[in-house]
Amino acid sequence: MNIEVFNKEGKSTGRNIDLPDSVFGVEPNEHAIYLAVKSYLAAQRQGTHKAKEKGEVTASTRKIKRQKGTGTARAGSLKSPVFRGGGRVFGPRPRKYNVTLNKKVNKLARASALSQKISEGAVKVVEDFTFDQPKTKEFVNVLQGFNIQDDKNVLISGKYDSNLYLSARNCEKSRVVNTNELSVYDILNCKNLIISESAVKSLSETLA
């Protein structure tokens, strides 16, 4: 599959790049995509929730009423879960929500998401570029060149570029990720996907 290559001004360079069908032309596997997104969202949870149980509540341990003759149930402590302010039964405890994925499933999910974006016509390939210094205006100019400044965008770079990353940090709807940290959620959670030439090569080697 051939696709046109643009420069950072959004103009055609007159060149095409070959996208391997094994990465950008597969039949999307919806279940693999679902598992990858589920794994990503689960990993975002802190899992620090905690409720106090009966033994952890601070309260008097005095028996609050006599054992018999009251006409109500026995009660030995205000810490009992049946009383307001008492401990909680089977409350949440700190835990990890991580969902592990097989490497092959993860590769299939990313290839499926990329292929789906290609079929939607939401992918642009841009030649490698960088900025001399972090400047949000420069990054906005790149988005304006493609007329996507008001959309939700993800730019995939071949490697981490601090100037590029910092330039995009103040753009609420756009972000920069490199191929090592690219997730299926990043691919799907945007309207436009801009991929640098070096990123195309890296993804082709990693996911093929």
Reference 200, options 162, 156, 147, 151; nearest CA is 156
| Residue 110 and residue 38 share a domain | yes
User: According to the model, what pLDDT value does residue 138 have?
Assistant: 94
Count of structural domains, the chain? 2
- DSSP-assigned letters across all residues of 75-133: ---TTSTTSTTSPPTT------------HHHHHHHHHHHHHHHHHTT-EEEE-----SS
Decide if 203 contacts 114 (C-beta within 8 A).
Answer: yes
Q: At CA 110, angle to CA 107 and CA 116, rounded to 5?
A: 135
- Stated pTM of the model: 0.82
| Residue 198 and residue 110 share a domain | yes
| Residue 27 and residue 77 share a domain | no
pLDDT in tens, the chain (208 residues): 889 999 999 899 999 999 999 999 999 999 999 999 999 999 999 999 999 999 999 998 889 999 999 999 999 899 999 999 999 999 999 999 999 999 999 999 999 999 999 999 999 999 999 999 999 999 999 999 999 999 999 999 999 999 999 999 999 999 999 999 999 999 999 999 999 999 999 999 998 7
Give residues with Cβ within 8 angstroms of 107, minimum separation 6. Answer: 206, 207
| Residue 165 and residue 106 share a domain | yes
User: According to the model, what pLDDT value does residue 61 have?
Assistant: 84
| Residue 104 and residue 61 share a domain | no
| Residue 155 and residue 130 share a domain | yes
| Residue 106 and residue 92 share a domain | no
| Residue 167 and residue 153 share a domain | yes
User: According to the model, what pLDDT value does residue 189 have?
Assistant: 94
| Residue 183 and residue 85 share a domain | no
Range of the domain at 139: 2-45+100-207
User: According to the model, what pLDDT value does residue 208 have?
Assistant: 79
User: Which amino acid appears at position 42 of this protein?
Assistant: A
The CATH number of the domain holding residue 171 is: 3.40.1370.10
Give residues with Cβ within 8 angstroms of 137, minimum separation 6. Answer: none
User: According to the model, what pLDDT value does residue 34 have?
Assistant: 97
| Residue 64 and residue 139 share a domain | no
Tokens representing residue 33 in the block: 């995509």
| Residue 196 and residue 110 share a domain | yes
